[in-house]
Amino acid sequence: MIFNSEVRIKILALLYGMEYCEFSYLREKLKVSPGNLEHHLKILEKEGLVIIKKAITKKGIRTVVKITEKGKEEFKKFLGEILNLTNLKEGK
């Protein structure tokens, strides 16, 4: 399951608000190793929730990660489920 990982939830949360960002930005914000981040991004990409693009620049390879429409919908659905659970717990 995609949402059983705190790292993947945080990746989608960041991308949901930004649309796209660089790999280095995600790594810095999430405080994870490059290998760990790459592992989680590949899972999200395989599920069609993000797109990963690499480009060669003067400073080296630049990796950009973008959330897909499917990714936005799945994340929104996940948040809705969390809110419903919270409301049930509070007796609303």
pLDDT surpasses 90 at 92:
no
Place of tokens 């007796």: 91
Number of Cβ atoms within 10 Å of the Cβ of 71: 22
What is the mean pLDDT of the segment spanning 13-28?
A: 94
Q: What does pTM read for this prediction?
A: 0.87
- Max CA-CA distance within the chain? 57
What pLDDT, on a 0 to 100 scale, did the predictor assign at position 86?
78
User: pLDDT averaged over the chain?
Assistant: 92
User: Residue 58: phi, psi to the nearest 5?
Assistant: -65, -30
What pLDDT, on a 0 to 100 scale, did the predictor assign at position 40?
98
pLDDT surpasses 90 at 57:
no
